[in-house]
Every structure is written in C-alpha cells, then in structure tokens.
Amino acid sequence: MPQHVNIVSSSVGPAADLLDLEWLLTNGRGSYAAGTAVGVNTRKYHGLLASAVRPPGERAVLLSTLVDEVEVGGERFPLACCEFAGTFHPRGDHWLREFHCDKAAGSVAFVYQVGGARLVKRIALARGADAIAVRYELHDLPAGLARSQFRLRVAPFFAYRHYHANRVAGSDPAVVAEWDGPNVRLHDPAGELPAMRLQIPERGEFDSAPDWWYRFFYRAEADRGENAWEDLFTVGRFVLLFGPKGAAEFHAAVEPVPLMPFADIVAGQQSHHRSLIDQAGQSHPGKKLSPPLTDLIHAGDDFVVHVPTPAPQADPVVSILAGFPWFADWGRDAFISLPGLLLTTGRRDLAFGVLRRFAGAIRNGLVPNRFSDAGVGADYNSVDAGLWFIQAAFAWADATGDWQRFDREFIPAVVAVLDAYDRGTDFDIRVDSDGLLTAGTPSTQVTWMDAMVVPGCPITSRAGKCVEVNALFGHALARLADWLALAGSAAAATYRQRHERWAAGFAEKFPNRRDGGLFDYIGPDSCPSRLVRPNQLFAVSLGSSPLPVAVQRQVVEIAVARLLTPMGLRTLAPGEPGYCPRCTGSRDQRDAAYHQGTVWAWLMGPFVEAYLRVNEFSVAAKRQAAAWLSPLLEHMNRSGCLGQISEIFDAEPPFTPRGAFAQAWSVAEVL
C-alpha cells in the first residue's frame, strides 16, 4: 500500500518531522536510493544512486541529488531543497504539497504546485541494475498556458565516494566528465569507482558548467556525532521543454548498465513485486494477502540480494543484508531473518541459497559472523551465528519437507558446528562439565550484544554461559538427536545424552530463584548476572524448554512488566545499573546505550512467540499479540523510513527510531 504524506513548510525550513521521514528504494544487488520526504539529504548515506561496487557490498554514493527548477512566464520555481549552515537553499519545499512512497512500484513521488500547474516528480530504481529514472509530469495546467511554456533545468550533484566517507572539494577520487549533446559520461581515471552515464533523452540540451557547492549539512550525521559536512560537485545542467504529453525524464546508470526509461523500470519492479505476492499466496492457500502483510513482504524484499558468481553457469548465490544504509550480510542477522523474509513468503529456494552460502564458509566449526563489505574474507567472532544457522536450516527443512536434501547439504554443517563446540574452538567456545556452552573472554564480544568501546572492551561483557546462547545450543542438540534417530543413525544416542546433560545443567543453573525469571549469563567465576534483559525469552520461545511451566510464565511476565514497549523490547530494564533511556550522541555514547536499555524491534518476535507458548496459542493470546504488533505496523507508515521498520528505538517515550532506518530482522520477526 503506497504511503502518502502531506507536506507543510514554513519560512524557516521544512518541518523537523518531515526531515526525519525517510524513503528507501533497492534493486536486489545491494545498491539503493534514499532520501527524505522533502528531498533534503540529511545523511551522508542519502543519494539517488548508491551503487554496490562489489555486490552486495562496498557501496559508493555516486549521484547525491538533483538541483532542479521549473521556469514558466519568467518566474522560477525550485523543486530541490538542500541544507547548509543555518539555512536551506533552494526552497523547493515552498512548492511541495505531497510525498508518496510506492514500494510495489519501486518508486517515490514528490507533488508540487508551480505556476498554477501540478507537477509530479517521480524517482524509480531499476530491479537488478544500477539505473535510475526521474520523470517530471505536468498536470492541471491553468487556462492560457501550454506545456511548451514550461522549461525544466536539472543540475546533477555528485559525491562520488565511498558511502562512509565525506567528499571535500578537490579530493580524490578525481572525476572526469565528457559530454556529447545531451549525453554525459563521468569516470574515475584511477578506476576505483565505476563510470556513470547521464541523459535526458529528448527535447533537451546540456550546458557544461562545472562547479562546486560547499558545506552541505547533514543533520542526522550531526546528531550521531559524525562528520556532518560535505562538498558536492556538478558538471552542468540539462535544459529541456516538456513534450506534448507533458512529461520529461532524466536518466542515470552505472556502466555497463544501459540507460532505462521510467516506464520500463517501474514495469520491471511491479512485475517482480507481483511475483512476490503470488509466491507468498501460493504458500498460504486460502489466506487473503492484504496490507499490512503485503507491506511487510515488500519491505522484506529490500534485504534479499543476489551475489555475483565467478561463472555464469554457476548456481545463483543469495544473501540477506542486515540493514540499510550501512550493514552488509551478517550471519546472525541472516539466519534470524530467513524464516520471516523467505520461508513465510514461499521463497524456499532462495532460503536454501542463503544457507548454502554460509555453510560453505564454516571454519573451525564457526559460521561467519559477517562477510567483508569489500567482498574479501569474513569475520568469525560469534558463538551464536552457528546456532542460528542450525535453527534456520531446520526451519527450511520443516517448511520444505525436503529432508533428503537437508541431510545431504546441511546435516554435515550442523554436526561440524556442534562437534566443534563440544571439543572446544576459537574464542574459548566450549562445553563445560555441566553440559552448558561457555564462550568468550572479558575482552571479546561473541553474542549479539556486541557493542565495543576503546580500547576494545565490550560495553555489555557477557563472557561465560549466556542464557540465549544456551537456549539455542540445547534446542540444536535436541533437533539433531531427533533427526538422527529418525534416520536410524547410532549417533543419535550421543547427541541425546549431550542434550540431557545440557537440560539438567540449564534447569539447575539459570533460574533466578530469588527474583524470578532467569539469569542473563553465568560468568567464568560462576557468578550469575541478575540484570533483567530480554535474552531469557529464548528459553521459552524456542520450545522444548527444560524449565517448569511456572518459570516460563515468570520469564514472560517479567518481560511484560519491565521490558516491553510499543516498539519492541528494552535490552535492559529501567532501574538496572547502566540503564540508558536514549541512544544518541557520539559513536561511543551510542555504543554505550546500544544494549543498555535501547529498544530492539526484532525482539518482539521471540517475545510474542514466548507469550503464545505459555498461553497455549489461545484466541485471546493471539488477539493480544496482534495488539502488541500494531504499533510497529503503524511505524511503517508514519515515522522513520516509510514502508520499513527501524533497527532500534529509544527506551522511553516518544520511542524515537534510531540506528539503521531499515533492518532485516525487525521486518522479518514481525512478518
């Protein structure tokens, strides 16, 4: 369902809430276009074409913005709006009336009132290619005015740099522009970044006028304590008249991708998204797929990317990006997201491709925590990525019933992970004498609560036996033992014994008999952490829990009373030592708050699952679960990034969205 926003401006500048309202278009290869509802880039990551130089990673913001205007009857109406120190210029927001985001069409639209006419500016990003088209349409012309009297000027401004960087005038990489009529080509002589082509295809001309504009201000970066200033360059401007149909287009593409008309881009995106809905519908016969379910399916597709293979005939490689604008493909995030993004939507072959990619990269029993953004190498600093891999692999087998392929492709990887953990592997990951899994040291971060500070110490030090890690470990042992028994393997007894030893150790060590619920972790000194965190929910949500039902109910009740918010669960209960109500400020300040109270939307998934389990999936419990999910669905249409769910939120009202403006596991768990 397209999101619609009415625009209200002032003499000072666009309303602050509109500057916080973002949009995102993706193309399935890691590239994206993103901005705000008033067209002001508030992040260094915003841009009309941020290209994945080595798909799906190493992104570069190439085309930052278009400074465009319409002239009619000698009067000029700017469409663009940019922020500089203490001012906005030009002031296209004065004429902007509406903004629309249509994920199903892969496009956004800005609606202006200029010269008595209605002008619609549409932006679309091609599916599977780094190409955009911007279409300008004139409607509702006043009497006495012809379309030929409207003249459009478009000046493209470029950053042409790595997406984590900021461009400074005259800095590398240097960019050379060449033009032939309305065709312009930009390229980096050093070959670090790809070349681009630009064009207005008809009734237009190009005026070469190279120039720099200095000190663009990115307020979101200032709020994050990052470098908030950038210089951008233009090569000149395209000038054209509107044709008989009242439309004009600007095209840009990264070589060797051809320039593509707006209609072709939208048709391709619509076809892709129709197939998404059809595929999801086929996997849920008899269920009506309508908003918000279709909105979630469209949102989830933003994170699914195809990875190029060395040989054209090789099987397709698929991955899941953790989030936009800055995350690459992380193992833990991919496996938590996979059931929601791919299995519930019927995309089981893609789920298989994700699992196989990570299974092929196992080292010393460890599944990659993340692949390098540059596409070279991987990081293995995670104890739970391998356990989430096992969870996702069994979920794939449950969904497909293809146990033969599961046995051939994934059981060896499952065994490799669990056996390595049993005998001990990197990062001090090993099974202790009580059958529980212990991992990490005071100077490492191997769980999902992994924020670090200088000089390399975890903010949330959880070395030892973590409750969610052990819940995953016990569940994995049980699933493997059941499968091996079904397959008639004598090895089933070994894993059953390991599971029984683990279950006895878990039931003895983790219950907090003084305060209720479970300890968050048990340190190397056998001292338990009594901090109230959401990690204990996994001992209930995963099923096959060794805990008495009364203890499981305690876990859920504590979560409802102390951790639950409309946008997800707090990572630390108010009143606990170190609790931070806001995740703002410099990088160190944000890292210090990241898991110290900050709300994570994805935790709503295990919370709802745990709540439903202890209430036996009753009708009343399902109604309550739906009510708890409702604010996150409203968030998709009203705040943050339209059509998406943010990574994190402040722990106190108004629960401001923070972090990545689109996060895979946030969408996946709600879906």
Cα–Cα distance for residue pair 474/347, rounded to 1 Å: 28
Q: What is the pLDDT of residue 311?
A: 63
Question: What's the rounded Cα separation, in Å, for the pair 104 and 301?
Answer: 10
Q: Kind and range of the H or E element at 263?
A: helix 262-283
Q: What pLDDT shows up at residue 53?
A: 94
Helix (H) or strand (E) holding 403: helix 403-409
Distance CA 529, CA 465 (A): 10
Residues 359-382: tens digit of each pLDDT: 999 999 999 998 876 656 788 999
Name every residue whose Cβ is closer than 8 Å to that of residue 408 and which is 6 or more positions away in sequence: none
**What is the CA angle 198-199-201, rounded to 5?**
160
The CA distance from 246 to 241, in Å, is: 9
Residue 359 sits at the vertex; the CA angle it makes with 357 and 363, to the nearest 5 degrees, is: 115
Query: pTM for the full model?
Result: 0.95
Contact 416, 362 (CB under 8 A): yes
Report whether 473 contacts 438 (CB < 8 A).
no
CA torsion through residues 528, 533, 534, 537, sign: positive
Cα gap 613→174, rounded to integer Å: 59
**Please, what is the angle between helix 348-359 and helix 331-338, to 10°?**
150
Q: Report the alpha-carbon distance of residue 571 to residue 596 in Å, rounded.
A: 6
Distances (CA, A) of 251 to 131, 132, 259: 8, 6, 6
In sequence order, what are the residues at sequence separation of 6 or more whose Cβ sits closer than 8 angstroms to the Cβ of residue 287? 281
**Residues contacting residue 493 through CB under 8 Å, at least 6 positions apart:** none
Closest CA to 259 of 192, 325, 202, 174: 202
Residue owning tokens 């203890």: 551
Return the C-alpha torsion angle 549, 511, 333, 363, nearest 10.
Answer: -120
pLDDT less than 50: residues of the chain: none
Mode of pairing for the β-strands spanning 57-72 and 96-102: unpaired
Extract long-range pairs of 650-654: CB within 8 Å, 24+ residues apart: 650/581, 650/582, 650/583, 650/584, 650/598, 650/599, 651/565, 651/570, 651/574, 651/579, 651/580, 651/581, 651/582, 651/583, 651/597, 651/598, 651/599, 652/581, 652/582
- Please check whether residue 650 is in contact with residue 583, taking contact to mean a CB–CB distance below 8 angstroms: yes
Task: Note if the bond before 653 is cis, omega within 30 degrees.
Answer: no
CA distances from 146 to 116, 143, 638 (A): 12, 8, 38
d(CA 558, CA 363): 38
Tokens of 342: 């791919």
